[in-house]
């Protein structure tokens, strides 16, 4: 019975890891398409006045979403352009620092 439980956990973890890899790949692609012009490739800020996304707080997803969807300062609003799954993928890409750090722990009620 214990072997089945371990096998189930490994299968779940494997599926989770693959899902994270897919989300990261999508996030990188969407980021490069929509964000890299101002925020730099691989989030390496090109020295412009745009925010260095590598410093975005991992616990500030709500603020990130609001900034992207509604715009902030010189940043345009992307709410009418990005699909919800694209926004989620960009957040995952930014929050993991382009896959270099583990994802933040989801809090209750966070999607």
Domains annotated on the chain, with CATH = 21-111 (1.10.760.10)
For residues 77 and 88, is the Cβ–Cβ distance under 8 A? no
Within 8 A by CB and 6+ apart from 74, the residues are 49, 50
Within 8 A by CB and 6+ apart from 1, the residues are none
Q: How far apart are CA 90 and CA 99, in angstroms?
A: 11
pLDDT, one tens digit per residue, over 38-91 is: 999 888 887 777 889 999 999 999 999 999 999 999 899 999 999 999 999 999
The pTM (predicted TM-score) of the whole model is 0.79
Q: How far apart are CA 52 and CA 33, in angstroms?
A: 17
CA 67 from centroid of its chain's CA atoms: 14
Query: Which carries the bigger pLDDT value, residue 109 or residue 58?
Result: 58
Confidence tier at 101 by pLDDT (50, 70, 90)? very high
| Most confident listed range (9-13, 49-53, 98-102) | 98-102
Instruction: Give the model's pLDDT for residue 104.
Output: 84
């Amino acid at each position: 019975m214990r072997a089945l439980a371990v096998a189930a956990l490994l299968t779940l973890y494997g599926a989770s890891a693959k899902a994270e890899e897919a989300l990261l790949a999508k996030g990188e692609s969407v980021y490069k398409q929509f964000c890299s012009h101002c925020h730099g490739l691989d989030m390496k800020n090109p020295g412009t006045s745009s925010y260095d996304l590598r410093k975005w707080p991992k616990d500030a997803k709500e603020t990130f979403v609001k900034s992207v969807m509604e715009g902030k300062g010189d940043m345009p609003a992307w709410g009418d352009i990005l699909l919800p799954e694209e926004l989620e993928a960009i957040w995952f890409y930014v929050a993991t620092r382009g896959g270099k750090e583990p994802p933040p722990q989801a809090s209750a009620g966070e999607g």
